[in-house]
Amino acid sequence: MTIEWRYRSERHLGLLSVAGYLGPHAAHRFTGAIGWALARGTGPIIVDLTELRGWSAEGQLAIVTAAHQLALAGRTLALAAIPADGSLVPHPDAPTIPVHPDLPTAITAHAPSSTADEQAREWRTAGWEGE
């Protein structure tokens, strides 16, 4: 079982939506999505987990690793709508990872106050359902 993802860059903010199950077999795909987002956007990255069915310890470790990777690039990672079956297990060496109850709250907390016009761009895996 793997994940599907969609990345949108807008308003100097990255929105990475993840669907499926973030387990040991999907951690590498998540890491790839973070690399994709890091190369194509600026500012904080919010990982929207609204469509995530669950995650394993390996999946949570992939999130911690992503937070480290972004911190090295001078960027931050935040989570929105973590799975209902648990919370993010704190990792002693992890940068602070803000957790928000939903995506609108996360966007409000992390979007810059400037409303400068920036063209929104989007990328996604072929299996991403929707629009």
Sheet containing 13-22, strands listed edge to edge, beginning at the edge strand earlier in sequence: 99-100, 77-80, 45-55, 13-22, 3-10, 121-124
With a cut of 70, say whether residue 115 has pLDDT above it: no
In a domain, 18, yes or no: yes
In a domain, 131, yes or no: no
**Which two three-digit tokens encode residue 60?**
């949570």
| Parent domain of 86 | 3-115
Of all residues in the chain, what percent carry a pLDDT higher than 70? 86
Note the pLDDT tens digit of each residue in 27-49: 999 999 999 999 988 899 999 99
In a domain, 86, yes or no: yes
Q: Are 15 and 46 in contact (CB under 8 A)?
A: yes
Question: What is the helix (H) or strand (E) element at residue 97, kind and residue range?
Answer: none
pTM: 0.84
Quote the number of domains for the chain.
Answer: 1
Q: How confident is the model at residue 72, as a pLDDT?
A: 95
In a domain, 44, yes or no: yes
Which residue, among 24, 29, 114, 58, has the nearest Cα to 16 in the 3D structure?
A: 29
In a domain, 130, yes or no: no
In a domain, 120, yes or no: no
Query: What's the mean pLDDT in 65-94?
Result: 86
- In CATH, what number is assigned to the domain containing residue 94? 3.30.750.24
In a domain, 125, yes or no: no
Note the pLDDT tens digit of each residue in 85-107: 656 777 778 888 999 999 999 99
Q: How confident is the model at residue 118, as a pLDDT?
A: 57
Of all residues in the chain, what percent carry a pLDDT higher than 90? 63
Partnered with residue 48 across adjacent β-strands are 17, 80
Q: How confident is the model at residue 10, as a pLDDT?
A: 80
